[in-house]
């Protein structure tokens, strides 16, 4: 995982972006209770007092969000899944038409690009396809203005992480 994190930081800095790295494994994040307090009682802020509120502030003020995670059965790590669930307050509680779909509008007026970097020990077609679809749906639900997904395999050379991340950022529309 470290080569992918270092590659992401390095590539973003080369492109002139300010980088904040949040290591979820070092954070205390409870599971979402599904109470919708972040929508109605404390708009935009979860009622649970833990590190997810700090992560939410970073999330909603970032123009580029790079999510690096080990891919487990085609999904995010449990820690990233909890963090994303807790970002529910970044959307408004009502729905609007978005093409042929219905989605929640953004609460905050910031155009965000999302880049998903999945880490796999080796190529796994089923996990790769599932992770691509999950990434796409997350980007749509968060109303990302651009998104991309790359996979980094631990059985490949380290420099492949830099290449994959750079291509992912460019595909998502993150310009130097």
Q: What is the mean pLDDT of residues 14-23?
A: 90
Instruction: Tell whether 44 is covered by a domain.
Output: yes
The Cα 135–Cα 101 span in angstroms is 17
Q: How far is CA 25 from the centre of its chain?
A: 15
Residue 3 clears pLDDT 80, i.e. is over it? no
Instruction: Tell whether 100 is covered by a domain.
Output: yes
CATH number, position 134: 3.40.50.360
- Number of other residues whose CB lies within 10 A of the CB of residue 50: 14
Q: Which two tokens stand for residue 154?
A: 């631990």
pLDDT tens digits for range 108-156 = 988 899 999 999 999 999 999 999 999 999 999 999 999 999 999 987 7
Instruction: Tell whether 91 is covered by a domain.
Output: yes
Residue 158 clears pLDDT 80, i.e. is over it? no
Domain enclosing residue 53, as ranges: 2-171
Instruction: Tell whether 93 is covered by a domain.
Output: yes
Average pLDDT, the chain: 92
Instruction: Tell whether 112 is covered by a domain.
Output: yes
Q: Contact, 26 vs 75, CB < 8 A?
A: no
Instruction: Tell whether 176 is covered by a domain.
Output: no
Instruction: Tell whether 125 is covered by a domain.
Output: yes
Angle 69-73-75 from CA coordinates, rounded to 5°: 45
Cβ neighbours for 19, distance < 8 A, ≥ 6 positions apart: 8, 9, 12, 13
pLDDT tens digits for range 22-53 = 999 999 999 999 999 999 999 999 999 999 99
Count how many domains the chain has. 1
């Amino acid at each position: 995982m470290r080569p992918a994190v270092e590659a992401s930081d390095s590539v973003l800095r080369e492109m002139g972006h300010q980088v904040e790295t949040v290591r979820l494994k070092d954070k205390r994040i409870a599971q979402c209770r599904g109470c919708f307090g972040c929508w109605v009682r404390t708009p935009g802020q979860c009622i649970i007092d833990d590190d997810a509120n700090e992560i939410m502030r970073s999330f909603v003020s970032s123009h580029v969000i790079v999510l690096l995670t080990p891919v487990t059965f085609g999904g995010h790590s449990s820690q990233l899944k909890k963090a994303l669930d807790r970002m529910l307050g970044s959307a408004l509680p009502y729905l609007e038409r978005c093409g042929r779909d219905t989605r929640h509008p953004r609460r905050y007026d910031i155009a965000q690009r999302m880049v998903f970097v999945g880490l796999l020990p080796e190529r796994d077609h089923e996990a790769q396809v599932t992770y691509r679809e999950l990434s796409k749906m997350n980007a749509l639900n968060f109303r990302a203005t651009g998104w991309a997904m790359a996979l980094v395999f631990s059985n490949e050379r380290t420099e492949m992480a830099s290449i994959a991340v750079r291509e992912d950022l460019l595909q998502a529309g993150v310009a130097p």
